[in-house]
Amino acid sequence: MPDPADHLLAVLDALPAAQRTAVERELAATARRASAGELAVDTAHDAGNGVFAVLGLVDLLLADAEPGSKAAAQLELVRQTVVELWDDLRVLVEFARDEPEPAPATVFEDAVRGALTIVRQGAGRRLELVERYPDEPLSVACGANAVRQAAVHLLGAARDAAATTRVLEVEVARETPGAAVLRVRPAGAESLGTVVARRIATDHGGSLERSPDGLLLRLPLVE
């Protein structure tokens, strides 16, 4: 079997110089993000012990605090803040972890919300997020982590494209026949991330297309 690295080098060598440079830069950035993800997983495991120690201490202090007092309210705020930070970190860990087997079904909008948690951390307060979700859950034939990965790539492209409008629109909806769609606006430029998202979609019987309405990720529903 040919070495994938040799094949990639051959493809790069065949590109015009300017295009090859752009692709190499994006590959380097992707490699940096992958390394950062691996470090985040290792750090999260170590941080977990500290988080649970802090929560245990807060619970002990709450047991001694007078209910309704200022001290009790402050401790509750500390506890809530630590739990929220841990939830965000856990989402990052799940995103970086490989899924051993594809899940039979995933609630589509839950996985998209998980992707938004990751994108929010990168966007900070710079963007207004407009989110729309269906009234009833949509189950798709794709593992949760695969959906999150595809959504993160699309949302990342849209986040970069929204630098002028400062608005990022995300919509999850049922589409006839038998598909769920994630619509992200603005579409953003074609990138390695969108290529990866398209591969995830097609591997699971779906599609990714660019339209005037933005980027559309479709996955088959599990009825």
pLDDT value at position 25?
Answer: 67
| CA dist 205 → 20, 79, 164, 191, 218 (Å) | 31, 43, 34, 21, 9
Going by C-beta distance under 8 Å and a sequence separation of 6 or more, which residues neighbour residue 181? Answer: 172, 173, 174, 175, 216, 217, 218
pLDDT in tens, 66-88: 888 888 888 888 878 777 766 66
d(CA 146, CA 204): 9
pTM for the full predicted model: 0.60
Domain of 188 in residue numbering reads as: 106-220
What's the mean per-residue pLDDT of the chain?
Answer: 76
Percent of the chain with pLDDT over 70: 66
Same-domain check for residues 139 and 84 = no
The answer to which of 64-73, 116-125, 136-145 has the lowest mean pLDDT is 116-125
Same-domain check for residues 9 and 85 = yes
- Positive or negative, the CA dihedral 42, 44, 47, 48 is negative
Same-domain check for residues 93 and 118 = no
pLDDT value at position 217?
Answer: 94
Q: Is pLDDT at 201 greater than 70 in this prediction?
A: yes
Q: How many domains does the chain have?
A: 2
d(CA 134, CA 93): 27
